[in-house]
Amino acid sequence: MKPARVPDGARPSRDTVISVELQNGHDFEEWREVARQLVASNVPPDRTIWMSANEGERDLFASTIQTVPPSAPARPVRATKSFLQRASRAVMHRSNRRLPLLYRVLWRLQSDPHLLEKTSDPDVLQLAQLDREVRRDIHKMRAFVRFQLARDLDGTDRYVAWFEPDHAIVKANADFFLNRFAGQRWSILTPQLSLHWDGSQLATSPGVQRGSGPSEDGTEALWQTYYASTFNPARLKISTMVKEMPRRYWKNLPEARLIPGLIASAQAREATMVSAGGDPFQQSAPTSLEEIARRISTCTACPIGCNGTRAVAGEGPDNAQLMIVGEQPGDHEEQQGHPFVGPAGQLLDKQLALAELDRSQIRMTNAVKHFKFERSGKRRLHQNPTAGEIDRCRWWLDAERRIVRPAVILAMGASAGRAILGRTPSIARDRGVPFPLPDGSQLWLTAHPSYVLRLSGEAREREQRLLERDLAALRFAI
């Protein structure tokens, strides 16, 4: 049934219920076009009913059902960049509350452009939850798709994988697999939608049932051997592992069948590793900065240290009065092997010069010594270290502090603050005020230059002034 149409130029009456039936309720552009028309026509959220044809939704209780007139917009429609980014992901969620929620937030943004900054608002919280769950599902698909070798009807090789997503994320992940496997012919089969790449063109087809993929091939045994050899019992946390690799995915992962046995033998293997010196924190503390640099280059005490990147040691005098601690090395720092040489480091250099602080007299280091990242095509995108990873790497920073014995420490960002204090501070609340530390030094907090670079306009100018103020205060504290 198609709803009746409001005559051109008319406006919906106060009691009119606008029924919106989208062809694809997970298509952001379709939702966006209709939502803009509704807002422009002054249709409030409580007078809309959202349905999705591809999900078989129909409303049986709307008293008066009409569509929006296609007349010229009555008013401009505004949406922030942050909302568009979150909405484009949240619309992929399976929840039947997503469409009315997105429209409600868009409607409220017209009168309150700073709505998304109100993190305790119920609508903002719901949007954040949907966004977070979709992003997690996207990540799980990228992490747990496993291809197996099969043959096309023409005899050519094709790699086929099976995956069961929680949300409508398959199309959104297509570019990820295209960028990584452009040279192979492959298919990803799911219950809702399937992707097929023939080396030059991407095609889609309806979803299929489990069992449509190929049986186990010879490469699985090789992969299981590799997985078992890299399993590190010293870093085994079963609850964390199940959280990051939920059991529902295990049936699709050839290595998962090894996990129970590897867990059972982990305790004995860990004892063997410790006795052999495999855990650096079971050894004596380093006594020189050179020893720290040498030992962090082989440290694998946390997942970041196992990702194949080069550790970046601190630089600067071993008797510096001022130590500046950042979060972690970035892409430029990892490639060059020196701290604070990327865009954030260049901004910091300018601010240090304005504050009349000589970088050559400062000890520059990071809370985490390896670069944590996620690949996006050929790019490596920065990822924040977890609290556990910061706490694990704190051992190295404590050793560095004992050797240098700075009078003042500047922690840039909450992660750096946690590495010093053992808890995550609030930069907005605590910046500009010295914290006395047990060793007699002072801790100062400020924002990380990379945070400043992510801002624009007046917000960036304001944060640059605050960073300049914080650095100027250090000149009198040293």
All structural domains of the chain, each given as residue ranges with its CATH number in brackets, are: 4-135 (no CATH), 145-206 (no CATH), 219-275 (no CATH), 283-477 (3.40.470.10)
Look at residues 185, 150, 145 and name the one whose alpha carbon lies nearest to residue 165. 145
φ/ψ of 286, rounded to 5, equals -65, 150
- Rounded CA separation 41/78 (Å): 13
| Residue in the block written with tokens 């867990």 | 263
What lies within 8 Å, CB to CB, of 14 at 6+ separation is none
- Rounded CA separation 312/471 (Å): 24
Out of 213-217, 327-331, 357-361, least confident range: 213-217
pLDDT per position as a tens digit, 428-442: 888 988 888 888 899
- Rounded CA separation 320/341 (Å): 19
Beta carbons of 473 and 431 less than 8 angstroms apart: no
The model's pTM? 0.47
What lies within 8 Å, CB to CB, of 436 at 6+ separation is 442, 443
Q: Give the residue with greater pLDDT, 290 vs 145.
A: 290
Look at residues 179, 189, 181 and name the one whose alpha carbon lies nearest to residue 252. 189
Strand (E) or helix (H) holding 19: strand 17-22
- Rounded CA separation 292/299 (Å): 10
Strand intervals (E) in 172-239: 186-189, 193-197, 202-206
Q: Read off the pLDDT of each residue in 350-359 and give the average, rounded to a whole number.
A: 93
Out of 25-34, 304-313, 345-354, 406-415, least confident range: 304-313
3-state secondary structure of 382: strand
Q: Work out the pLDDT band at 67, boundaries 50, 70, 90.
A: very low
Most confident of 224-233, 264-273, 449-458: 449-458
**CA distances (Å), origin 114, targets 246, 292, 455, 457, 466:** 36, 46, 15, 16, 22
What the block records as the tokens of 56 is 């078989």
3-state secondary structure of 57: coil
CB-based burial label for 291 (10 Å; 0-12, 13-18, 19+): middle
Q: Is the dihedral of CA 419, 420, 423, 428 positive or negative?
A: negative
Q: Give the residue with greater pLDDT, 27 vs 223.
A: 27
What the block records as the tokens of 331 is 């892409």
- Rounded CA separation 454/254 (Å): 40
* Model confidence at 393: pLDDT above 90: yes
- Rounded CA separation 291/348 (Å): 27
Identify the pLDDT of residue 439: 87
Mean pLDDT of the chain: 82
Q: Read off the pLDDT of each residue in 24-43 and give the average, rounded to a whole number.
A: 93
- Rounded CA separation 124/359 (Å): 42
Strand (E) or helix (H) holding 435: strand 435-436
Identify the pLDDT of residue 315: 96
* Model confidence at 20: pLDDT above 60: yes
pLDDT per position as a tens digit, 145-158: 888 877 666 667 88
What the block records as the tokens of 381 is 């995108």
Strand (E) or helix (H) holding 160: strand 157-162
Identify the pLDDT of residue 396: 94
The counts of H helices and E strands in the chain are 17, 16
Beta carbons of 195 and 170 less than 8 angstroms apart: yes
| Residue in the block written with tokens 């630089």 | 315
* Model confidence at 464: pLDDT above 60: yes
CA angle 183, 189, 191 (to 5 degrees): 160
| Residue in the block written with tokens 């040691």 | 313
Q: Read off the pLDDT of each residue in 386-407 and give the average, rounded to a whole number.
A: 93
Give helix 122-144 / helix 81-90 axis angle, nearest 10°: 60
Identify the pLDDT of residue 6: 35
Out of 37-41, 63-67, 174-178, least confident range: 63-67
pLDDT per position as a tens digit, 97-137: 999 999 999 999 999 999 999 988 999 999 999 999 999 99
Look at residues 224, 207, 205, 219 and name the one whose alpha carbon lies nearest to residue 164. 207
What lies within 8 Å, CB to CB, of 25 at 6+ separation is 31, 50, 51, 52, 53, 54, 55, 57, 91, 98, 99
What the block records as the tokens of 253 is 């992962």
- Rounded CA separation 326/384 (Å): 12
Beta carbons of 79 and 106 less than 8 angstroms apart: yes
Out of 83-97, 181-195, 286-300, 453-467, least confident range: 181-195
**CA distances (Å), origin 92, targets 8, 111, 143, 190, 243:** 32, 26, 19, 15, 22
* Model confidence at 242: pLDDT above 70: no
**CA distances (Å), origin 128, targets 21, 100, 102, 167, 299:** 25, 15, 11, 15, 36
Amino acid (1-letter code) at residue 382 = H
Q: Read off the pLDDT of each residue in 458-462 and give the average, rounded to a whole number.
A: 93
